Structure 1
């Protein structure tokens, strides 16, 4: 996002949260299991399943190193899961903000959580952003109260501030 002068818009809030302990342990276990399976497949001379260790190692790496990034500037909130799944939310379209400090009650990963609800989750505290069009986005963040403060404090001059509950 750039201003008409070409200078990038300053970031008001930035959070990059890594997966909590449970998915990290599961991911690293899968990474360690990959080479073991490879050796067993070679020793048993069954090359038809040689792709299995590769898939397990890649999936384990993805799980162990998953992150959620939340960036806020004066106009948008950008939420990204592993820098693959991204969503840009216009700040003036935010209707309500709430927080949940429980660790991982909604699961982990990029999740479809029902009609009009999407989660970008790696465990830990979360912020729930309800948009004026009725969709809800849930994202893990390391400072949900601070994020709510930034979104309500800089709610755009002349526009209605989102309510928090």
Structure 2
């Protein structure tokens, strides 16, 4: 997303949302549980399960520090989950844009939500972007009203629906 001169284009919208309280508490609990498991494994002399503290600590860190970043420039919407999963959506491919103030029962994390539907969720308000090719992307964002204003189509090119 750079101009021909190599200078990055300015962001029209930028949001980085962290996980809500419940997954953060669960993640930090798992991180704290890692050393406890390590001590118990060493005391019981069972090195064959020594991977358990590593897995618990790594998974807990991932859960506790989950983030979703949404960046909009003049041409694209870029959604990044935990700086690992990245999705670039061209703005001209948007068919429908809807928002939801409260996260539904969709869960947390990078979610496959059925054929053609993917979620990047950390809790809180969500934006649902349906593309012209029939695919749907759902992402957590903290300022969904501002995102809708930025993504609103120019006069004379209405979307099928905008809420």
- TM-score, normalised via structure 2 length: 0.95
Note the C-alpha offset of 1:3: 1.4
Matched, 1:164 2:159: no
Q: How does 1:138-149 map to 2 (within 5 A)?
A: 138-149=138-149
RMSD: 1.4
Note the C-alpha offset of 1:5: 2.6
CA 1:159–1:36 in 2, change beyond 3 Å: closer, same or farther?
Answer: farther
Consecutive unaligned residues in structure 2, runs of 5 or more: none
Deviating above 6 A after TM superposition, structure 1's stretches of 4 or more consecutive aligned residues are: none
> Partner of 1:45: helix, strand, or coil?
coil
Q: Distance in 1 between matches of 2:115 and 2:70?
A: 23
Q: Distance in 2 between matches of 1:19 and 1:148?
A: 22
Q: Distance in 2 between matches of 1:144 and 1:105?
A: 19
- TM-score, normalised via structure 1 length: 0.94
State the number of aligned residues.
162
Q: How does 1:1-165 map to 2 (within 5 A)?
A: 1-152=1-152, 155=153, 160-162=157-159, 163-165=161-163
> Partner of 1:86: helix, strand, or coil?
strand
